């Protein structure tokens, strides 16, 4: 098999600054109970327009419940929850309909003129337009997630919710997906909330990292490191603080010390 052509890409520009006076998401004193189990209790959260935020937490801390709330999948009647009208979610599983071709999966629910053209434009942004007429079963894991991203972005959401979107792909594909997500975020400027269990991934991608525990935000780290982010002393200091808040102490630094955690160039070929 021929080696894929790797197309050079320009160096990352500085991340866009959040519009500090414009709040995109506001959750105040929010509580969610399922029977006698309280999952979220008195939770306060504010996300600025165009901000990229990562949410960490141990299993059962309420991360997915919060994401479902912000996505509008769970009811919020009688509680103070404000979100943009346009929202989209990318899940860990791409959730493509196997009986619809890729472009039809991206266009699912779209209305108005030139639906196929809009779907193909979104696929072009994730470098998957050449698979527009493919069946989902023929896609690799990375391609399926890129199709899922295209399906989310074709709607131009004000809020993009990512629920561990790279957990099911291999390490190399994950790094390439990191670069892709950052480039799409810069281009479309949605507010992003990404749920992840990976501390290094959170630091690599986000402007701010939050830690959720027992249904409340217990820690926050602003990430002012330049992109692409190297695993230097400051990165490791942030990592250590976040791991400590997650109950992990004395862990060794990652084996990639000194390396870049986002590809500075290269075509998306996953």
Domain assignment present for residue 174? The answer is yes
Domain assignment present for residue 36? The answer is yes
Copy the structure tokens of residue 248.
């992990």
Domain assignment present for residue 69? The answer is yes
Tens-digit pLDDT profile for residues 139-197: 999 999 999 999 999 999 999 999 998 887 888 888 889 999 999 999 999 999 999 99
DSSP, collapsed to helix, strand or coil, labels residue 177 as: helix
Distance CA 147, CA 151 (A): 6
Per-residue pLDDT at 266 exceeds 70: no
Domain assignment present for residue 237? The answer is yes
Domain assignment present for residue 106? The answer is no
Distance CA 156, CA 177 (A): 19
Q: How many domains does the chain have?
A: 1
* Closest to 230 measured CA to CA, from 199, 206, 261: 261
pTM greater than the 0.85 cutoff? no
Domain assignment present for residue 103? The answer is no
Which pLDDT score, from 0 to 100, does residue 171 have?
A: 85
* Closest to 118 measured CA to CA, from 130, 128, 106: 106
The CATH number of the domain holding residue 237 is 3.40.50.300
Tens-digit pLDDT profile for residues 32-91: 988 888 999 999 999 999 999 999 998 888 898 999 999 998 888 889 999 999 999 999
Pairing of strands 208-213, 52-56: parallel
Which pLDDT score, from 0 to 100, does residue 5 have?
A: 32
Which pLDDT score, from 0 to 100, does residue 269 have?
A: 36
DSSP, collapsed to helix, strand or coil, labels residue 1 as: coil
Per-residue pLDDT at 21 exceeds 80: no
Domain assignment present for residue 139? The answer is no
> Are 209 and 239 a contacting pair, CB within 8 Å?
no
Per-residue pLDDT at 260 exceeds 70: no
Q: How confident is the model at residue 250 (pLDDT cuts 50, 70, 90)?
A: low
Residue-number span of the structural domain to which 31 is assigned? 22-97+160-245
Strands of the sheet containing 19-34, edge to edge, are 37-49, 19-34, 80-82
Per-residue pLDDT at 2 exceeds 50: no
Please state the rounded mean pLDDT for residues 246-266.
52
Domain assignment present for residue 138? The answer is no
Please state the rounded mean pLDDT for residues 10-31.
67
Which pLDDT score, from 0 to 100, does residue 262 have?
A: 43
């Amino acid at each position: 098999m021929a080696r894929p052509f790797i197309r050079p890409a320009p160096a990352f520009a500085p991340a866009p600054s959040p519009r500090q006076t414009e709040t995109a998401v506001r959750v105040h004193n929010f509580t969610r109970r399922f029977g006698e189990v309280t999952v979220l209790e008195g939770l306060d959260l504010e996300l600025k327009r165009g901000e990229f935020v990562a949410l960490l937490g141990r299993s059962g801390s309420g991360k997915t419940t919060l994401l479902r709330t912000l996505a509008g999948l769970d009811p919020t009647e009688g509680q103070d929850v404000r979100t943009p009208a346009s929202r989209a979610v990318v899940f860990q599983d791409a959730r493509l309909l196997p009986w619809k071709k890729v472009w039809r999966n991206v266009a699912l629910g779209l209305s108005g003129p030139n639906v196929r053209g809009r779907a193909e434009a979104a696929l072009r942004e994730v470098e998957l337009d050449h698979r527009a007429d493919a069946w989902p079963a023929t896609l690799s894991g990375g391609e399926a997630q890129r199709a899922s991203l295209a399906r989310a972005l074709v709607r131009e959401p004000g809020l993009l919710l990512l629920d561990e979107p790279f957990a099911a792909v291999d390490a190399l594909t994950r790094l390439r997906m990191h670069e892709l997500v950052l480039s799409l975020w810069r281009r479309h400027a949605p507010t992003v909330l990404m749920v992840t269990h990976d501390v290094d991934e959170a630091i690599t991608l986000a402007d701010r990292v939050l830690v959720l525990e027992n249904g409340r935000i217990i820690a926050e780290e602003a990430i002012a490191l330049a992109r692409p982010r190297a695993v230097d002393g400051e990165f490791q200091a942030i990592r250590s603080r976040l791991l400590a808040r997650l109950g992990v102490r004395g862990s060794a630094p990652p084996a990639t010390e000194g390396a870049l955690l986002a590809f500075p160039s290269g075509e998306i070929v996953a």
